[in-house]
Amino acid sequence: MNRLATGRRRRLGGMSAKGVALPLAFVIVILQVAIIVLVVAANTGNAKLSRIINAYSAYESEASALVSGASVLNGTSTTYVNQQNKENVGPLMGYVSEIRNHPERRAATIAEHFDGYADVGTEAKRHIRQAEEAAQGMYEIQMHAIALMLSAHPSSDPALTGFALPPLTEQEEAMTADEKVEQAEALLNATAYTERMGTVSNNVTNCVEALRDEAGKKIERSTKNIRAMRIALLGTTVAFSVLLISSFLVIFFKLISPLDRFVRGIAADRALDEKTGLYEVRRLADSYNALLRRRESLETVLRFAAETDQLTNLPNRYRFEQYFYESGKSGYSLAFLVFDVNRLKEINDKKGHLAGDELIRNAAECIGECFGVPGESNCFRIGGDEFAAIVKRVTRAEMERRLAWFNERQKEMNISVAVGLAFAEEIGDTNFRDMFLTADRSMYSDKMRAHSEKRVSGD
């Protein structure tokens, strides 16, 4: 029973409903999972892109805060020292307020934060460190100047309680009030001091540029990844849609349409087509036809001849013609060779067809060895004792060398093969028919020469 079912299955052919449904269901599930994964990945990429933008925006703001803080301290301290009324501590109160109320704008704090940012590059960190060093130097000079000013004009304002100042040297303590004020002004008006502010500003500017460059590269990479995921998502969605449409078409053409024709065929009392639709549909037609008549199995549909010659394992004539037409229209040289095995009929008659088959195989081996191109199937069996080869992008000198090698190998293998060559410097200047005729005439001449030598030698 199983043998009969297997034979019937092979005879009817066609994919079974299960064979169609299960792969389609599997692919649909895979595509759905892929769509979900890609959507999640795209959302994750968007979130990552937002984090990059927000993080680097915060880094820029923090770096800019270093300049702002340094500018406030510079402005308030300079105003305090250079004002006409040395007793006025209002600017100093602004200085103290900035230090106490905005520790986040202190250079040392910002530099420490940047050292802890794993995603910030070394260049940005280097500029922040240099800005921090310059700002710290300014701060020390400012505190020194303020200490001189308060020593010259002490203040009892309670807001200054706990405001630690650096100690003065003995020489500075011995100065008069006017000398201390003059010394404080000299500290804050010195070129070295004002240059530090420029150093802070320049390094922060360079840091911001480095951050923007880093952010730009990361944003570009993230954008590319997101774009790739979106393209993949689009492709997957299109594939999913195509699969659904294909599924409908399969159901329609392989199930619904054949069944509709069967209904009309049964009504018309004629045999049903057993070669359309799914396997189950074909089996139905086969069962119905068995009731109408008893006859042999339907004529097997002829398939295209296989492209490979079974005896030599070389491509056959059909593939030979396809190979030539696929070789292109122009752009390179081409050698076209036609071969004919000598004495094949004689050997078949004297030694049998097995010996003739061996001769054919040896000839194929020799031709492939001498004219084959690695990675290409460019040698063919185009008839009983006829072979051909096509060698692209080759010079005449190279072909002469190959032909000489071919002649030597024939002697070593004890075979005789007539060969004809047609050569085109530019393939676009000729066509298949012309080259074939040229090579065939050349081969025929070689074959006549071989027969003449045979008659002379008496072999």
pLDDT mean over 14-20: 63
pLDDT at 72: 92
How is residue 319 written in tokens? 């593939």
* Pick from 130, 135, 198, 63: nearest CA to 143: 135
pLDDT mean over 127-147: 91
What is the third-level CATH fold of 317-457? Alpha-Beta Plaits (3.30.70)
pLDDT above 60 for 2: no
Domain residue ranges of the chain, discontinuous segments joined by +? 26-224, 317-457
Q: Report the mean per-residue pLDDT for the chain.
A: 84
Residue 7: C-alpha distances to residues 2, 14, 242, 277, 302 (Å): 8, 13, 35, 18, 19
- Measured distance CA(336)–CA(430) in Å, rounded: 11
**pLDDT band at 404, cuts 50/70/90?**
very high
Tens digits of residue pLDDT in 299-352: 322 333 568 999 999 999 999 888 877 776 666 788 999 999 998 988 999 999
pLDDT mean over 133-143: 91
**pLDDT band at 16, cuts 50/70/90?**
low
- Measured distance CA(282)–CA(73) in Å, rounded: 93
The answer regarding whether domain 26-224 maps to CATH 3.40.109 reads no
Q: Residue 424 pairs with which residues in a beta bridge?
A: 334
pLDDT above 90 for 412: yes
pLDDT mean over 406-429: 87
Backbone angles phi, psi at 291, to 5 degrees: -75, -25
Tens digits of residue pLDDT in 206-234: 999 999 998 898 899 989 988 898 898 88
pLDDT at 301: 29
**pLDDT band at 1, cuts 50/70/90?**
very low
- The contacts of residue 20 (CB under 8 Å, 6+ apart) are 250, 254, 278
Helices 177-189 and 122-152, packing angle to 10 deg? 160
Class of residue 444 by CB neighbours under 10 A (exposed 0-12, middle 13-18, buried 19+): middle
pLDDT above 90 for 406: yes
* Pick from 178, 126, 118: nearest CA to 151: 178
Return the higher-pLDDT residue of 134 and 3. Answer: 134
DSSP string, 373-388: -TT---EEE-SSSEEE
- Measured distance CA(436)–CA(442) in Å, rounded: 10
- Measured distance CA(427)–CA(382) in Å, rounded: 21
Residue 97: C-alpha distances to residues 74, 103, 134, 184 (Å): 13, 10, 21, 21
Tens digits of residue pLDDT in 268-306: 778 777 677 777 777 777 776 777 666 433 332 233 356
